[in-house]
Structure 1
């Protein structure tokens, strides 16, 4: 199985922590040169330093800037004109009752979670097509199918990502470029860890609190626990390799079986 990414370049948005960080690490382990993206130089530098300690032979370059606006994306693309692999990971979430979500919040979530991927895919995918090889992955969520009542605006953006991913895959069919989306379920990232600590107290056993959260809020989970960022990153990294060349236009679940569906 060919999973070697030596000589390939990648951009992972929102990669100073969480799933994005784990994906950047896995791609570097497979040989890719990885552009680490975050909103501030300090966070990007700290992430790269940590990544280098974990992958000593890894190649990492800073890609500082917010992808939540057209101007931010333009600046990022100007500093990084071409990549072989694009991971649209940057995103925000926040529980809020539907009737309390104002217009500006709907727009903010759409700009960060949806338009960032649209703009970056529009900028980078044509070059991939010209070179005859490329990978685009959208980090969506099982919430795009199973809309969470506590954050409908977030679920809406994840549904949109699924549509965009499939549509772009159709657009570049036969070019050697694959486009897929990955649907994580509840995942233990830094933000989720802080949330769990607030639920269970400073000395909380995160694994146990996580299992209790799943039992109460996602009872259909088959693994009965939170996934790790590394488990999600393994799927993403595989999709970026030559071994996954026949997988495109797909929505692949890393949701622990939360979605009760056979397809």
Structure 2
């Protein structure tokens, strides 16, 4: 049998053997709903989530209670943007010209709802300039989102400098780090970002799982209703098996 050569890692990495092992072992444990804290099966499931949350947080130097699990990067990006601007009727949102469709499609929708969308231009290498961002931000700017690493051209943006510009202007900064976490050092404390999207499937974890880092200063609203999971930001029973595999991949 010929050996497969896989060239699509930027879309989904083949699952790491550690993640497969962790999921397989978890599926043999009798667990219940992690929100059911009144019996041992539910408590056990919740402990698995807590352990995985710590592993994800440790990878990016975040605190455990700053990591919120989602169904993947697309949901994380939606929660970051829609969750933050919820309740606002207008304002400016700044993104780069080369964001993922989960950002680009969102801002098209938000544009039709009254938000002004500004695009931060890139040079011939796909790089943005922090000075250009400073000039784009006005008193009406509510949010800036710039991808950390582009999966198609490999550009790594100066996220620390961009976050610094936003901090000086009093504007919340989000970065989609889907193609960065697990491949280059990512330290949310050093970078100074307010929110950061993390994908499981791109770093060797299972599909259908992701996370959003949210710092203590940034308050969001859930983008759908139905429960108090993930401290109210992400209603619905957690994908515990996927989260377990995600945590293992982060190690």
- What is the TM-score when the length of structure 2 is the normalising length? 0.41
Which structure has more RCO (C-alpha within 8 Å, separation ≥ 6)?
2
Identify the structure with the greater helix proportion. 1
